Amino acid sequence: MLTLAPDIEVLARFGRALADPIRCRILLALREAPAHPAELAEALGVSRTRLSNHLACLRDCGLVVTVPVGRRTRYELADDRLGSALDNLRSAVVAVEADRTCVDAEKKDCC
């Protein structure tokens, strides 16, 4: 059963999903068009196993959904507005110092 997450939880899930460059690339690819895992793995140059783990994280975060297509499964963004959110984030200007990294950059946890 799907439920709606509160605003803060949505932001936290989105942040955790974006914390990994491969997940960012998956979301940007799905922003362009829904895709099957094999297509995504080839387009992104990652193994299917690695891609599968990242897709599971994105599903758990609630950002992507699966759509059965015959015997295959297609992935797409859970909400079209996520594409706009990604565009807005990509165009945002952030202030960073060259010698600083994010405190959480070393953590590898997922949703």
pTM listed for this prediction: 0.80
pLDDT of residue 12: 86
Quick check: 105 pLDDT over 80?
A: no
Domains of the chain in start order, with CATH, are: 7-106 (1.10.10.10)
How far apart CA 87 and CA 92 sit, in angstroms, is 9
Check residues 5 and 33 and name the one with the higher pLDDT.
33
Encoded tokens for 52: 């599968």
Encoded tokens for 89: 């984030």
pLDDT of residue 110: 53
Encoded tokens for 17: 């999903």
Give the pLDDT band of residue 106 (cuts 50, 70, 90): low
Among 61-65, 93-97, 102-106, the range scoring the smallest mean pLDDT is 102-106
Encoded tokens for 29: 């690819």
61 — phi, psi (to 5°)? -75, -15
105 — phi, psi (to 5°)? -60, -25
